Chains A and B, each alone.
Chain A
Amino acid sequence: MSENIVSFRHVSMQFPGVLANDDVSFDIRKGEVFALVGENGAGKSTLMNILYGMNTPTGGQVIIKGKTVERFDPSQAIAMGVGMVHQHFMLVPSFTVAQNVTLGREPRKWGFVSDLKKANAIVDGLVEEYGLTVNTRDRVQDISVGLQQRVEILKTLHRGADILILDEPTAVLTPQETEELFSVIRRIVREKHMTIIIITHKLYEVMAISDRVGVMRSGKLVGVENTCDVNERILASMMVGRDVLLGELDRHDPEVMDNDVAVTLDHIQVTDDRGLPAIRDISLELHRGEILGIAGIEGNGQSQLIEAITAMRPLRGGDIRIGGVSIRKMTPGQVRALGVAHVPEERLKTGVSAPADVTDNLIAGREKEKRFSLFRTHMKRKAVRQYAEELFEQYDIRGAGVDVPVGSLSGGNMQKVVVAREFSFNTPVLMISQPTRGVDIGAMEAIHQFIIDKRNAGCAILLISADLDELFRLSDRLMTIYEGRITGEFTPSTIEKTEISYYMTGGSKEAQA
């Protein structure tokens, strides 16, 4: 049990401008579940990429099973028994499970032809042996994310891994799928004596699954503890270096009390990019002064819901009224003018223009206002800059100033730029999608308070998030969405997260009753 299987000795990793790992030394023991926690950018993933041979450290040594790693290369790491399940799966969508698992080391017949039958048999054998139930003949594009993760694990097992790195494995899973994953981990550790390294920033998962935990902060190892000797509060303060968990939010009755309906969805139907139905039938009312949270597993129509309300995606049926006006035939610009601001789910794709500077991103959408432009053609740079600096200050954006490209800011500050721009329109309706995805805890706290302030001021807010904690923290009302339909409506204070997940996976009130 106490034999060291992996040792890091003074490992440093210098990227241009960033010291991602700074003199990190610790050991991982054979047959344990080791959790590596830290905020975004703390250097956890970098360290594990070094172990998997994807990065070559600029200093220090890595020792695997008593051998010092000479050459950092994934195939070398694989040969030494290291397997990694990346956060973004490395699967070919159109291939079957078995084809994906055996990719790169396919069984052959007659020397050059793939033996697909044998591949299926081998993978079936692995499924049997490790209890990772999945149909090996299904195409990966047709199976759920939870199953895809199993395929990834099977892949590493097929390559003979006995040290398994899981990079944020639960980020894409429902609570049930997480529980299943954990029972798989426990079983393979117990029965197959594998060593598991799990990267996460969810502290309750650390408590639930790990034997020992290492905490990283800004590239350094803060400490390694036995999980039974610590609690979430201790870990959190180790992670951020100060004594905080998320604080209480300043929530009070909204200033607008008339409880008007701001947005009405009337049996809407929407298709996705492939023409498949994404929203089958949704009706709901969004009131002023409330935050309506939508909980669902990604890909169940929540993205299309917001795109429909902002007119970025056409309606196939039904109607949407904002302030009583139908937006069926409107352009996104017209809907904006009606009073809808939008914090989109993918900030790099639709939220900001990464190469443009902070000023331009903050001003976007206002460039034709009189105070910023002469004859709607010539921009008054001075006024623009002053305005941008005000927002920069007001929303506590941290970066090298308003003249640098937005792309050079950290994720959290980039997100603050989006929030600052959209919130500054002072619209009565806000569509917010994944406001704190990949954002560190400090920025998260700030963004949450901005959202609550808007609600307190009487905005009607629709909030979509993959983070259940966030939804519970912010929402006044909570709805679950599954396969393009609303499956339940709840008050966050009266329901448990586990129960919500039942509705997120297609359960219905009738079925439970």
Chain B
Amino acid sequence: MNELASILNIGLLQNTLRTATPVVLCALGCLMTDHVGMMNIGCDGMMLIGAFAAVMGSWLGGSWMTGLLLALAIGLILGLFYGVFVIKLKSDEFIIGVALNIFAGGVTTFLLRELTGQSGTFHAPEGNLSVLPRLNAAWLDNIPVIGQIFNNNTLLVYVSWILVLVCWVLLYRTPAGFWFRSAGEHPQSLRSAGKSPEKMKYIASVLCGMLACLSGAHLSMGYLTTFSENMSNSRGFIAVACVIFGRSNPPKVFLAALLFGFIDALGMRLQTFGISSALTSTFPYIGTVLMMVLLVWRNEQKKKKLAVSGLR
């Protein structure tokens, strides 16, 4: 009993938020592209490049702000790049996504060596990399558990929560959202309404690039301020899974990402209890697979129910 309590402590919940945040941000980007009908599975690669750009930005510019700005700028370019290939040149979005992922691994490794002369993991020679600021509200500390969980997180954790809401409002409560969704579902009807579906797709793909790179920035500057090769560690794919699981609805996708974060945090926690890290690091991926199985099962049940009620 004691052991259980020491596993399920507040630190676990703090870690949940920490590990979920990059997935949340990346998934928000990915669901934007899903709504316009060109789901970007390359967001894992975008995340990795974003992580690299953030570290480079903060190293060269000397501030976390330059890091964020560089990540966002690179994200914008990557989004445009994806858009040009998928929308203008009409390539298959999955192939471009896969290409992006492979490209990201190569280009970050290459640039890391070329620009810094280091390999594997980046250590700033002067040690002047700045971490994303943590937000603190004194009054929150007075509330026991909640204060500990919700206070003292890095900036992007709060930003991601706001963005979940913003994305939801954007997609379901603004004209632009209606245009987005119709561009994905029935582009001709949007065109006949005098709006360009291609424009919506470009905007979504740029938003996706920026959000994915923002998630990368949180990965590299949120707690560690270091970049290591392949540090996205397939979180982008987990984000894709969350988008599918949450049916591209921002709050539901957010919950799916939190669930993932919890499993991840639980895995790390169990390491301290002597369970092999090789095993615990598989938790998030096993969790993702189980989530997908659940999704398919749920759909099947729904189908059966409909069929039964209809056949009577």
Is B307 a contact partner of A92 (Cβ separation < 8 A)?
Answer: no
> Which residues 255-293 of A sit at the B interface, judged by CB distance below 8 A?
269, 271, 274-277, 280
Q: Report A-chain residues with C-beta under 8 Å of the C-beta of B303.
A: 274-275
Evaluate whether A90 and B188 lie within 8 angstroms (CB atoms) in the complex, with A275-B304, A276-B306 already known.
Answer: yes
Contact with A along B169-197 (1 / 0, CB 8 A): 10001111111011001101111111100
B278 close to A (CB within 8 Å):
no
> Which residues 137-187 of A sit at the B interface, judged by CB distance below 8 A?
155
Q: Report B-chain residues with C-beta under 8 Å of the C-beta of A276.
A: 306-307, 310
Is A316 a contact partner of B195 (Cβ separation < 8 A)?
Answer: no
B279 close to A (CB within 8 Å):
no
Q: A74-B191, A108-B175, A114-B175 are in contact. List 4 more A-B contacts (CB 8 A).
A: A84-B192, A90-B189, A274-B306, A275-B307
Contact of B189 among A84, A103, A106, A269 (CB under 8 A): A103
Evaluate whether A113 and B311 lie within 8 angstroms (CB atoms) in the complex, with A86-B192, A104-B179, A275-B306 already known.
Answer: no
Q: Report A-chain residues with C-beta under 8 Å of the C-beta of B185.
A: 92-94
Q: Report B-chain residues with C-beta under 8 Å of the C-beta of A86.
A: 192
- How far in angstroms is the closest Cβ of chain A from B229? 42
Evaluate whether A92 and B194 lie within 8 angstroms (CB atoms) in the complex, with A103-B178, A275-B306 already known.
Answer: no
Complex Cα distance, B195 from A92, in Å, reads 14
A436 close to B (CB within 8 Å):
no
Q: Report A-chain residues with C-beta under 8 Å of the C-beta of B194.
A: 74-75, 78, 104
Is B186 a contact partner of A91 (Cβ separation < 8 A)?
Answer: yes
- How far in angstroms is the closest Cβ of chain B from A10? 27
A100 close to B (CB within 8 Å):
yes
Interface centre among A88, A95, A269, by most B CB within 10 Å?
A95
Complex Cα distance, B179 from A271, in Å, reads 33
Is B188 a contact partner of A277 (Cβ separation < 8 A)?
Answer: no
A112 close to B (CB within 8 Å):
yes
Is B306 a contact partner of A92 (Cβ separation < 8 A)?
Answer: no
Is B189 a contact partner of A280 (Cβ separation < 8 A)?
Answer: no
A433 close to B (CB within 8 Å):
no
A99 close to B (CB within 8 Å):
yes
Q: Report B-chain residues with C-beta under 8 Å of the C-beta of A114.
A: 173-175, 177-178
Is B178 a contact partner of A95 (Cβ separation < 8 A)?
Answer: yes
Listed A/B pairs (18) with beta-carbon separation below 8 Å: A74-B191, A74-B192, A75-B194, A88-B188, A90-B186, A90-B188, A90-B192, A90-B193, A92-B185, A95-B181, A95-B182, A103-B189, A104-B195, A106-B178, A114-B177, A275-B304, A280-B311, A316-B307
- Count how many pairs of residues, one from A and one from B, have CB atoms less than 8 Å apart in the complex: 79
Q: Which residue of A lies closest to B184 (CB)?
A: A92
B residues contacting A by CB (< 8 A) are 169, 173-179, 181-182, 185-186, 188-195, 303-304, 306-307, 310-311
Q: Which residue of A lies closest to B175 (CB)?
A: A106
Complex Cα distance, B190 from A84, in Å, reads 14
- How far in angstroms is the closest Cβ of chain B from A109? 10
Q: Report B-chain residues with C-beta under 8 Å of the C-beta of A105.
A: 193
- How far in angstroms is the closest Cβ of chain A from B1? 46
Complex Cα distance, B188 from A155, in Å, reads 14
10 nearest A-B residue pairs (beta carbon): A104-B193, A275-B303, A75-B194, A90-B189, A277-B310, A106-B175, A90-B192, A92-B182, A92-B186, A103-B193
Complex Cα distance, B306 from A112, in Å, reads 39
Contact of B181 among A91, A94, A112, A280 (CB under 8 A): A94
Complex Cα distance, B310 from A94, in Å, reads 22
Complex Cα distance, B38 from A332, in Å, reads 34
Complex Cα distance, B175 from A277, in Å, reads 36
Q: Report B-chain residues with C-beta under 8 Å of the C-beta of A274.
A: 303, 306
Is A93 a contact partner of B186 (Cβ separation < 8 A)?
Answer: yes
Q: Which residue of B lies closest to A73 (CB)?
A: B194
Q: Report A-chain residues with C-beta under 8 Å of the C-beta of B304.
A: 275
Is B311 a contact partner of A91 (Cβ separation < 8 A)?
Answer: no
Complex Cα distance, B185 from A93, in Å, reads 8
Q: Report A-chain residues with C-beta under 8 Å of the C-beta of B186.
A: 90-93
Interface centre among A92, A95, A113, A276, by most B CB within 10 Å?
A92
- How far in angstroms is the closest Cβ of chain A from B199? 12
Interface centre among B173, B174, B175, B190, by most A CB within 10 Å?
B175
Q: Which residue of B lies closest to A52 (CB)?
A: B192
Complex Cα distance, B104 from A42, in Å, reads 53
- How far in angstroms is the closest Cβ of chain B from A483? 10
Q: Which residue of B lies closest to A90 (CB)?
A: B189
Is A92 a contact partner of B174 (Cβ separation < 8 A)?
Answer: no
Q: Report B-chain residues with C-beta under 8 Å of the C-beta of A100.
A: 189
Q: Report B-chain residues with C-beta under 8 Å of the C-beta of A90.
A: 186, 188-189, 191-193
Is A113 a contact partner of B169 (Cβ separation < 8 A)?
Answer: yes
Complex Cα distance, B175 from A116, in Å, reads 10
Evaluate whether A271 and B307 lie within 8 angstroms (CB atoms) in the complex, with A92-B181, A94-B181, A103-B182 already known.
Answer: yes
